[in-house]
Amino acid sequence: MELLTMFLCLSIFLLLLLTWKIYKKRIQLPPGPFPLPLLGNVLQGTTVLYDSYRELSEQYGPVFTVWLGSTPMVVLCGYEVLKDALINHSQEFGARGSSPVPERLTNGYGVISTNGLRWQQLRRFSATTFRNIGIGKRSMEERMQDEVRHLIQAVQDTGGEAFNPLNVLGRAVNNIINLMVFGKRWDYKNKTMLRLFNIVNDILLFLRSPLGVTYAALNQIMRHLPGPHQKVFRESEIAKSFIREQINSHRNTLDSEYPRDYIDCFLIKADQEKDLHSSEFIQENLVNTIFDFFVGGTETTTNTIQFSLLVIITHPCVQARVQKEIDKVVGPDRLPGIADRVHMPYTNAVIHEIQRFLDLVPLSLPHMATQDTVFRGFKIPKGTTVIPLIGSALWDPAQWETPEEFNPEHFLNQNGEFYMRPAFMPFSAGKRVCLGEGLARMEIFLFFTALLQKFTIRAANQTDTFDLRTLRRAFRKKGLFYEMRAIPRTYTAEN
């Protein structure tokens, strides 16, 4: 009985100590809901920020604090606040904050979850290499168009019957990264590629799941416990083993005068800096940077194109108008190219509005305050995790006429010309803007326009109905699954 009493007293003491520590931290930070010891705000549902941010910002303002376990996170809402933080205060908020799952997946290597000299060297090298091997250039566009032809053939093979577009779209997008990184593509039925594609999807679904949120909040405990969450980390090693095999193959066939792809360029740079102690061009950084590319670039672009097709199914008038513009500018005899985009204002507006409305990645990866900072009247201590809520800019009622509705007119002026809205930031902004933004923009435009050039997209059944506002959130849960039909278009003089 005495031991039980001592245990209860000790537990109460520790609970009070934790509460006091949280209170001391909390009074230094922007306001927010009161956190529970150890759990923070997890059980209150407030950490599902893309659902709760409006209510929280109405109560506490556009800068507020929520707690993930014992870790406070300062949340930034609205275009003006995000612009101020990510662009005007990029130095103070430009570091990557702690993110337990990505950190364990990459062991502190790579370009996404790192800071300091490692991030600077890898980010600068990757951006330069992407430009040199073709992003935004005709050479890369031609390689993308070759992949578009494979995609068109795969869709044609459905014969107008119902099919799930996720599979072929995912393989096509995956092959664009393969071309950039490995210098080659794989057949859509290749079992190794299918396995890797599924591994990447499993990782991203885990990150967004309640189990993933719990792992992030209690990672010091969860990382040692058995359970389904450990499967993600085991499977990531399978993906990285494949990447290592490709690197070894490149090393054995490398010609430093004629680099073929990202791996070749990295290996050449590593050889040039082999005697520099400060060089970050080592094997593990290469493996994990490539892993970052697949995790960050495959699913996001695939889901955007997948949702694009769902939008035009539910808006047949939009589909018809886009096809009319494609027919006028491109015609039936060649594939659309990037140079056509400037002559297709409505199509360009539709693509941008799809990305805005979809709000695919509403929360930026965590940032971190690099120094004690006063921002919007609040003291934010050095090392504090900062969450830019990108979706709050894309749906900001102060920036969009009809933020709750799909409306391509958001990106058209009175003369029907395309114009970019400053609050359009689906790839984030500032120092940590998405490294693959240029590649993703090219992919989305070329795949979307080519599919509508060749096919009319319809629901699998005439009675099928879709609620876009509900389905845009499906990606944050178990993914979006639907079937459609692609009916080959016939060209006449009227086209």
The annotation places the binding site for heme at 434
Structure token pair of residue 105: 């997946």
Which residues neighbour 487 within 8 Å (Cβ) at sequence distance 6 or greater? 160, 455, 456, 457, 458
Amino acid code (one letter) for 398: A
Structure token pair of residue 296: 């960050």
Q: Give, as one character, the DSSP assignment of residue 431.
A: G
List residues forming the annotated binding site: 434
Query: Residues, the chain, total?
Result: 495
**C-beta separation of 85 from 386 below 8 A:** yes
Beta carbons within 10 angstroms of residue 397's beta carbon: 10
Determine which helix (DSSP H) or strand (DSSP E) holds 375, and give its type and residue range: strand 373-375
**C-beta separation of 172 from 297 below 8 A:** no
CA distances for 268 relative to 73, 250, 254, 273, 294, angstroms: 40, 11, 9, 9, 22
Query: Can you name the residues that pair with 64 across neighbouring β-strands?
Result: 75
Dist. CA 21–CA 12, nearest whole Å: 14
Dist. CA 287–CA 248, nearest whole Å: 11
**C-beta separation of 322 from 276 below 8 A:** no
